[in-house]
Amino acid sequence: MDSQTLYLVCFSTLFGLSWGSFLNVIAYRLSFDKPFMTKRSYCPSCQALIAWYDNIPMMSWVMLRGSCRKCSQPISLIYPLMELITAVITVLLALKFFLPLEQLSNVQAVASFLAYFYFFTCLIVSTTTDLYVLAIPQLFTLWSLPLGIVFSLLGLLTISVWESMTGALFGYGILWLVAYAFKRYTGKDGLGVGDMELLGLIGAFLGPIGVWLTLMISSLVGSVIGGGYVLLTKQGKGTHIPFGPFLAFGATLYFFLQDILVPILFF
C-alpha cells in the first residue's frame, strides 16, 4: 500500500468511526423517541452520562467488555457493529472517489462522494432503527428520496435522472405489490411500509437495475439468515425479522460490486 492510499485509509477510518458513533445516537433516539439536544450520550439502563473516555468508537466497547462502567448492564453489540460498518463504507467510498489524492481538489468528485455518503448514512440509520424497533424513519427514506433525484439531475450519481425516478417508483412499487399479494392471500401483513420506502430510496440512488439486484441479494441472504435464526431459536414462522438490514446489505453489495454482478447476472 503506497503512502497516498495509507493516508486516505487512516483518515477515512477515523472519520467513519466518529460518524458511525454519531449515527448510533441518531438511530437510538429516533427509535425510542428520545430528545436530541437536552442530554449528551447516556446509558439506556441506568441513565448515567457516559464519560468521553468511555465513548471512543469501538475501542471503549472493547475495553469495557460490552457493559456499562456504572451499572454493568450489557451494551448492545449494535453500537460497535454500526461504527465498524460506517468506517468500512467510508473507506471504500474514499478510495473510489479520492484516489489519487489530487481528486480531493476535484469539485465533482467531492460532490459525488458527499451524495453517496448521504445515501449510505440513510441506509445505516435505517438498518439500526429496524434492528431496534422494527421501524424505519421516513426522514431517512421517503423524505430523502427526492435528494437522489436531485443528485442525479446534477450529475453527481452514476445514473441518469430518468433512471433515478423510475428506480424510485420501481423500488416502492415492487414491494407494494408483493405486500398486497401476500396480504390478499394470507390475510397477514408481510412487509412494512418502511421497507417499501427504503427500497424506493435505493432506487432513487441506484436506478431500476440496482433495485432488482438489491432485491435479489437481500431476498436470498434474508431467507438464509432469517430461516437459520428461526431454526436456531426454535421460534415460530410468525417471527418478525427486520428486512431493512438485508435491503441495505444488498444495496451496498450492488454499489461496490456492480461491475462484477451486472455482467454475471444479465449476460
- Spell out the per-residue pLDDT of the chain, length 267, in tens: 788 899 999 999 999 999 999 999 999 999 988 877 666 787 888 888 888 888 899 999 999 888 988 888 998 999 999 999 999 999 999 999 998 888 888 999 999 999 999 999 999 999 999 999 999 999 999 999 999 999 999 999 999 999 999 999 999 999 999 888 877 787 777 678 999 999 999 999 999 999 999 999 999 998 888 777 777 766 656 677 899 999 999 999 999 999 887 777 665
- According to DSSP H, which parts of 99-160 are helical? 107-133, 145-153
Global confidence as pTM: 0.94
Q: Is the peptide bond before 100 cis (omega within 30 degrees of 0)?
A: yes
Phi and psi for 74 in degrees, rounded to 5? -60, 145
CA–CA dist 207, 186 (Å, integer): 31
- In the three-class reduction of DSSP (H, G, I as helix; E, B as strand; rest coil), residue 42 is classed as strand
Which pLDDT score is estimated for 267?
59
